[in-house]
Amino acid sequence: MSAAQPQSPTKDRLLQSATKLFSEKGFEGVSVRQICKDADTSMNMIHHYFGSKEGLFDAILASFTDKVFATPLRVLDQDVQSKAEFVTRLEVFFEETLTALIEQRHLVHMMARHTIAPTAMASLMGNLVSYLATCQAKGYIRAGIDPSMISGFMMDRLANQVLYAAQIKRDTQFDLINDPDYRARWTRSNLELILYGMVSPDLTA
């Protein structure tokens, strides 16, 4: 992965304003004029930096690279030695992925609005599936469970929680973005569920 290019403040402001506006109103609902006004710059700057509104949209998507998930990816990039280590790494992965998605939440909103599943997310899920398959081969995960189902379950849950954080806060007072206690509780409950399921082992018929 190449290092980030130094960017002019104007270019940065355009990216930030456009991400916010696209996430609120959609690509079709935002004009070049609105973006430039929000970014406090002149109309020809989008043409100068991005060629067009389409180019600006693509530049925003391109910023959602594997770098966004550098920490969770690092957590999986280890040879796991015990089941306890597997569980701990999965917990850290879940927490760090949530943190990354919260940091990028305007972009996550923008992509959901346009039903775009970003490459970086697909890549993260691919790494998670490999990690789970390795741990399954070592006997830490039950045979017969499809690792891609676990990965899908985890990512759906994480992405939607970030996407609907505002509604959830309005409806329940729980504030995933700003309340670290709630975030920790939410993370623990979800991991408990995906690890052990809702049905107690001793109740299993």
CB of 51: closest distance to a second copy in angstroms?
Answer: 21
Based on CB atoms, which residue is closest to a second copy, 180 or 196? 196
Buried b (16+ CB within 10 A) or exposed e, 154-167: bbebbbebbbebee
CB of 94: closest distance to a second copy in angstroms?
Answer: 12
Based on CB atoms, which residue is closest to a second copy, 2 or 172? 172
Based on CB atoms, which residue is closest to a second copy, 10 or 106? 106
CB of 205: closest distance to a second copy in angstroms?
Answer: 6
- 163-22-28 Cα angle (round to 5): 125
Phi, psi of 72, deg, nearest 5: -60, -35
Based on CB atoms, which residue is closest to a second copy, 11 or 64? 64
**Under a CB-based contact definition with an 8 Å cutoff, are residues 56 and 18 in contact?**
yes
Q: How far apart (Å, rounded) are the C-alpha atoms in residues 62 and 64?
A: 5
Secondary element (H or E) of residue 146: none
Q: C-alpha 153: how far from its chain's center? A: 13
Based on CB atoms, which residue is closest to a second copy, 11 or 176? 176
User: Is 44 buried (19+), middle (13-18) or exposed (0-12) by CB count in 10 A?
Assistant: exposed
CB of 142: closest distance to a second copy in angstroms?
Answer: 4
Where do contacts with a second copy occur on this chain (CB under 8 A)?
25-30, 83-84, 87, 109, 112-115, 117, 122, 132, 139-146, 149-150, 152-153, 156-157, 159-161, 163-164, 166-167, 171, 186, 189-190, 192-201, 203-205
CB of 9: closest distance to a second copy in angstroms?
Answer: 28
CB of 10: closest distance to a second copy in angstroms?
Answer: 25
Q: What type of residue sits at position 7? A: Q
Based on CB atoms, which residue is closest to a second copy, 6 or 144? 144
**Under a CB-based contact definition with an 8 Å cutoff, are residues 36 and 46 in contact?**
yes
